[in-house]
Structures are given as structure tokens and as C-alpha cells.
Amino acid sequence: MIASRYTASKSRSQGRSAWAITFRHPLRTDPRTQQGLKIRRGLGTSDEVEADRLVAEMNELLSNETYHRLSMRQEAARKFSLVIVDAFYDGFENSLTDPWALKEEYLPLPGREEGYAKVLFVGTTGAGKTSLLRHLIGSDPQKDRFPSTSTAKTTIADIEIITADDLYKGVVTFFSEWAVRTSVRECVADACLAAWEKASNEKLVSRLLNHQDQKFRLSYVLGSWKLSKDEEDEEDDWEADDKEPVIEPETEEVGANVPTDEERAKMHVVLEGYVHQIRQMAKEAIQKLNKELGEDISVLRGKDREAAEELFDEKVQALEGFDDLVNDIMDEVQQRFDALTAGTLQRKRNGWPEVWTYEDEDRDTFLGQVKQFSSNYARSFGRLLTPIVQGIRVQGPFDPVFTENSQCLVLMDGQGLGHTPDSSTSVTTHITNRFESVDVILLVDSAQQPMQAAPLSVIRAIAASGYQQKLAIAFTHFDHVKGDNLPKFDDKKAHVLASVTNALRSLSDILGQPVVRAIERDLDRRCFMLGGLDKPLEEVSKRKLNRNELERLLQFCEEAIEPEAALEVTPIYDPAGLLFSAQRATGDFQKRWDAILGVKQLAGVHKEHWTRIRALNRRLAEETDVEYDTLKPVADLLARLNESISQFLDNPINWVAKPSSDEEAEQAINAIRQKVFAALHSFTQERIARESLARWVTAHRYDGQGSTAERAREIKVIYDTAAPELGPVMNRASQEFLFQIRHLVYEAIEQAGGKVLDSITG
């Protein structure tokens, strides 16, 4: 490709005075089109003559390949303006910052050495984990409304709360520009498809503002389609007549951050402009496809329509106006950060927000500012930054009202698991990565329907990784457990615990009897029955049984940081069985993903739609994530390997200094499980994501008729290489995979004090 083919131009969005520069980057390729990635950067000037001068500089830089190396940045800085140098080199410079490291830099987490217990909240969407968190930090559901709750997916960012007796402090980190851009592109593409389907403006805007995975919601940032607050306050005809009245706070959710009707009208005009552009692009793409195919694609049905949808999607995304609209939306998103008046916002060189910090003595003022980044309050739509936020960490006097005892806790909340029909669905690595660093894994589940598939998948992951000693289960909605045969608290509790025991026994074949027995052994101590968590703090604390359970939960967390006694027992393993463990794991992984890709069929697993496979593919190709919604290949391989190897570890052939009890044996084996689990995290990500990056890019580039099948075949090759099926006769790739697994497990056994009959050679 000839670099001089690309030239820059200037533009400015409607209603803006400042100019921006647009160009395709010669060294950063769009994975789909193989063209240079289209970049837009603000020039920081409203002077047209100055803007023309800067565009000329960029064209000179684009045409001179001498400067097309990162090592030439300083040389370019001597010749060109800083804004041009930053716009060009930030386009392919690997300047990604670790959000966790940023939070640690500004507000480090205390640990056991300071007497703090770290508690990780895990649970299905709507189970009530954030409501429970509110009670543990004394956050009133009407006055404070922090963190936000809803029956839908509410908590997207990681939220970490440190209890302390000093100032209120906060640090907020943001998703990368490329991760946000990916979601915006998918929202625009979905809206274009709605235009093809001749959807109403309201439905089209809904598709634009709400991503299909229900996590990324542009409506929070850009505003809703409705023009006034009165429209949002209309009563829903489907609301239950006996719904409890909602007590509104004396002030708005985030105070002055509620847009005026005039601002809403301006947002509506912007959205109308987007609707017009989307309909025009859809019309153009349809005309081109009709001409190329020689038929009217709008009348197609069944598989022909699905194929036409993919062709339409590719055609519309290839239009010049598509990238322009995505850039317009990205500009709108970035512009919202200009309205921040409190705290300190640090941006990257390209202007994208990186971290926001703030501190205050007053609780209400502090929470009012932080909620700009966490709220889901409908009246504030257009002013909220919630979808862009990767993580929130706050510290301060967050004390519960049900006890006067001071707490030393780090409480970690995150995205809900989602409701799945299959307990074999893997838990995201974003959660399992934290198992090692926390002291308590608090599974929050509903007592009304306990131990459905998603909670069971969490227990599978915890037990197979050797962290069952950290497990606690909080059953919410306990006040709704009713029946003529359940007159008292103890009867209801026994009923819920029986459900847990039955669910655990269903996992015996997967986890092994020793692991299940270890969880059952002190199940009563690890389970907490809670009700009415949606009520005001004082009302909940007045209920004696509720208060007792909450206090017992706090005591469990405090005791979790007490060190375990050192063991002098050593398990000995025969490595012969490891082959069969790895063989079972890769076989199960391959069967599941063959069905997901539509290569083969498997009972209980359906073929995923091409848009979801491509969304996963895009994230892996662009290195912004390793999963998409329920599609989690890294987590799937990790779970299957971990469970199979866990069963292998359950059966040492002998012991040096035999354990005196089942508890001692389990403790020794768990230490090995934990080492294996930590090593498997990096191993599976390396095999599926990093080592296969070039193939993920190739798969993402497929377009045109038959591209869905081509993409599936390419991904199948990735999985065959990353996790080959093992048998009596193995090729070199299979042998290498098994060697790495053996090395990983042997090393974990020896690091945890165990022994292996033979040693690795070669």
C-alpha cells in the first residue's frame, strides 16, 4: 500500500466552532476493510487559516514514509506542530494504561497487613447484591442511591468501596477509546439494520442508544428520544396496582446535573440528525446491494434474508459516512467530559479521558459528584458518563447503621452474571481473576429460587480453583419465602439450605465428592438469610433477625483474614492420569464451540447468530476484550481444564506425612488447585487470544457471501490449534499442548509443597 494515497482534510461538526482533522492512518489498519483506520482529532482552533496550515502539515507527514516509525516521533516533533504529531503517533503507539494500576496510584487498596478484609460480590442480575452492599456501607436507598440498582443490568463498572475514618476520596477510570468506539460502531450498525427494516424513529433510536448486550447505553450520555421530563414521568399501564409508592428524595438524583428542557431539545435535534444520516446510509447500501445482486433484498425471507442482512451490514459499514457518524458520536461523548466542574480530570495526549479524582468532606456533595459516573437515573440522561466508566474506587466513613462497631473492609461490586439456563456456562475471567486477591467471595442469590444455573456456575469455579474456604452465600428476598409448612425462621432457612445441598450434589460428578463434602461441612456458617433490603436502612436494622444475620456476615468477613495453620503434609501424584484430564477438557471445549459456531450440533447448545460471533471476533482482533456477552472462549477453556485437573488433584497416590483429617487433606490439595488456577488464567489467554491474534484478524476481515461460514472455519482452526483434542496418536501441536499442561501442573504441585513421581525432561 502506498502511504501517499492517504490525505487529511478538515471538518467541524454542526454547532461547533473548532476545527478537527480527519485522515486514514497508514500504519493502523481497520481489521474489516484492510484500509487505514479512519482517525479524527480536534485541532484546538477555530481559525480556518490555521486549520488549513495544520492539515498541510499532516499531509506532508502522511506522504513521507521516513516518519512512519515510532522512533521518529521526536524528529517529527521538531518539524511539525505538537497537535499533528500527537494525532499521528498516538494512532499506533501502544500507550494503553492499566486501569488497575491507575487506581492503585491514586487510591491504593489496603490489605490484610492493615487489618482489612477484601470482599468480592458476585451474583445474578437482580439478585440484590448492590442492595446488600448499600446496607453494608450505610447508603440509604432513597437519599443516597449509591451504588445504583435496577432489575436490569445496572452495575457495569467495577465499584470498590474502602471503609475509613477520613475524607471522602474517589478515583474513576475509563474504558479505552477503542473499546468505546467498537461499541458505538455496533450500535450504529444495528440502527442501520433497523432502518432497513423500516422501523419507526423511536425504535431506530432505541437500537442506536442501547447496545444489544444491554451493557453499553448511549442514552445515558446523549440523552433519550423523549423531549421532556413529563414524558418520562408518564405512568406505565403495566405497573402493578399494588406497587409500593416510591419516596422521591428531596433533591434530584445528581442535583444540578438534570438537563433543562432546552438542553433536551438540543439533544433531540442531534439525535434527529443521526436518524437522518442512518436512513440515508441504509438507503444507499440497499441500492448498491440491489444493483449488485440484481434483486430486491427487502423481500427476501429465511436464510436468504439472513445472508442479505450480513451483506447489507458489510456494505453500510464500508460507506464513508459510516465512519463519519461514528466519529461524530465519539466527539459528542468526549464533549460531555467538558462539563465536569469538580475534581481533576486527566486525559491522554489524544484528549480521551483517562482518570478522574476527587475528594470532599461532605458525604452528600461527594456522592453527588461520583454519581455522574455511576447513576442510571433517567432524568439525568444526557449528563451521565456511566457507560464510559471502567472502574470506580471510593474511600470514606461508609458505616452501616445496624451496628456501632467500626469495620475494616474493601467491598468490591461488579457486573451481574446474567441469567443462564446452563450451570456449565463459564464465569467471566474478569471475576475469576480476583479470586486469589480477595478474602471472601460473597455469592448473592435469591432465597425464592435458590441455586439456579448462574449461582451454580460460580460455585463450580470457586470449588474447582480451591477457594471454597472463601465462599459465603447471602440469600436475599428471604422475607418472600412463605408456605404453610414454613411457619418460622428456622423452617425457612432449612428449606433454603436443602436447595443448596441438592444443587451441590448435582455437581458431584464434575467437582468430585471430596470437594462437595468440604463445602457441605460448614454450610450453615457460610449462609446468611436476608430480607427487605430494598427498604430504608433504619427499617431493616430494626428487624432483629435481619440485623443478626448482617452482623454475622460482617463477623465472617473479619475472621476471613485470620491466617490458616501451616501444614506438614505432602501429597504425591502419578502424572499418568493428567493426559485423560486434559483430553476430557479439550474435548468438552471443542464440542461446545463446534455447536456455537454451527459446525456440529450438541444438545443444549444453540448456534449463535453471526452478529454475535463477529462481535466477539472484533474484540479479539482489536485486542479490546477476550469475550462478548455470554461468548467467553478463554473462560470456557479455563473452566474445563480447571475442573478436569481439579479431579486429578483429588486423587494423590500417596502422602508424605499423612493428613490427620479430611480437612487437612483438602487444605493441602486446595493450595495446589490455587496455583494451577492462577497459571491456567495466563495460559488460556495466551493460547486463545495472543498467540492466535493474526488468525482473529484474518477471520474478522471475511466479508461478502459465505463469510459467516468462512469466519466459523477460521475460528475453528484457532480453537483446534489452541486446545487440540488429545488421543492415542498426537501431532506436534497436541504434544506441545500436553507438555505445557504437564509443566504447568507439575510446577504448581511442587510450589505448593507436593511431589510428582517423575520430573519433566526436555
Q: How confident is the model at residue 94 (pLDDT cuts 50, 70, 90)?
A: very low
Distance, CA of 521 to CA of 517 (rounded, Å): 6
pLDDT above 90 (res 367): yes
Q: How far apart are CA 203 and CA 189, in angstroms?
A: 14
Tell me how crowded residue 549 is: count the other CB atoms within 10 A of its CB: 22
Percent of the chain with pLDDT over 90: 54
Instruction: Assign domain 117-165+397-559 one CATH number from 3.40.50.300, 2.60.40.1930, 1.10.760.10, 3.40.250.10.
Output: 3.40.50.300
Contact between 174 and 391 under an 8 Å Cβ cutoff? The reply is no
Express each pLDDT in 167-183 by its tens digit. Answer: 999 999 999 888 898 89
Whole-model pTM: value is 0.87
**pLDDT tens per residue, range 128-161:** 888 999 999 999 887 888 888 765 555 578 999 9
Query: What are the beta bridge partners of residue 412?
Result: 120, 160
CA distance between the termini of the chain? 44
> Which tens digits make up the pLDDT trace of 14-44?
667 788 899 988 877 766 666 777 888 888 8
DSSP for 95-159, written as a single string? ----HHHHHHHHSPPP-GGGT-EEEEEEE-TTSSHHHHHHHHTT--TTTT--S---SSS---SEE
Section 417-423 average pLDDT: 63
Confidence of residue 241 (pLDDT cuts 50, 70, 90): very low
For 443-495, the DSSP string reads EEEESSS-S-HHHHHHHHHHHHTT-GGGEEEEEE-GGG---TT--SHHHHHHH
* Neighbouring-strand partners of residue 29: 36
Q: Is the pLDDT of residue 761 over 50?
A: no
Say whether pLDDT at 730 is over 50. yes
Q: Looking at the predicted structure, is the pLDDT value of residue 759 above 80?
A: no
What are the boundaries of each domain within the chain?
Answer: 3-89, 117-165+397-559, 177-232+248-339, 570-756
Strand 570-573: give its sheet, edge to edge.
654-656, 570-573, 755-756
Spacing of C-alpha 114 from chain mean position: 30
Question: Of 343-347, 567-571, 691-695, which range is least confident?
Answer: 567-571
Query: And the C-alpha cell for 760?
Result: 519433566
